[in-house]
Amino acid sequence: MKQLHRPIIGLFLLLLSVSGFAQQVKNKEDEFYKIITIPVPEGILLEVGGVATLPDGSIAVSTRRGDVWLIDNPYMANGSNPTFRLFASGLHEALGLAYKDNAFFVAQRGELTKLIDKNGDGKADVYETVYAWPLSGHYHEYSFGPKFAPDGSMFV
């Protein structure tokens, strides 16, 4: 019976040391990446598929339901809540988002779309098809990305 206690005690001590190491890694990770929970207003269902950071510190998110939301003050500076503004809607499963040259590029199910706010009112005025592809109807057929390459081309 005593022979059984030693391995169990050894395993217990090993588990304690692993949890301490994990905490050290988390503390080091927080120096580089801060994970926060952004409070979402009631009535907004995000189901985020894509995230883009903007030069002013706000973020944009695209959703599976076909919307693009702008979130101002996402890091809740000075303790104030973020604000959500609907930038675009009517897209088909927008599961990828990028921002470049004052425009959003959204990977929808059947196309890559460029969204532009021409009049500065905070809403997309132009929905421009950059590239479209056929759909097979398969329920697992989705498009993700886009990502910009150094030469300006995109990967979807």
86 pLDDT band (50/70/90 cuts)? very high
145 pLDDT band (50/70/90 cuts)? confident
Q: What is the pTM of this model?
A: 0.79
Q: What is the pLDDT of residue 108?
A: 93
Q: What is the DSSP letter of 37?
A: -
DSSP readout, the chain? -HHHHHHHHHHHHHHHHHHHHHHHHHHHHHTT-----PPPPTT----EEEEEE-TTS-EEEEETTS-EEEEESTT-GGGPPPEEEEEE---S---EEEEETTEEEEE-SSEEEEEE-SSSSSS--EEEEEEE------TT------EE-TTS-EE-
In single-letter form, the type of residue at position 88 comes to A
Q: In this structure, are residues 104 and 69 in contact, taking their beta carbons and an 8 Å threshold?
A: no
For the record, the structure tokens of 48 come out as 């985020």
- Tens of pLDDT, residue by residue over 20-72, are 666 666 677 777 777 889 999 999 999 999 999 999 999 999 999 999 999 99
Average model confidence (pLDDT) across the chain: 88
For the record, the structure tokens of 90 come out as 């009517």
CA separation for the pair 127, 91 (Å, rounded): 9
CATH class of 48-155: mainly beta
Q: What is the DSSP letter of 31?
A: T
For the chain, what are the domain ranges? 1-35, 48-155
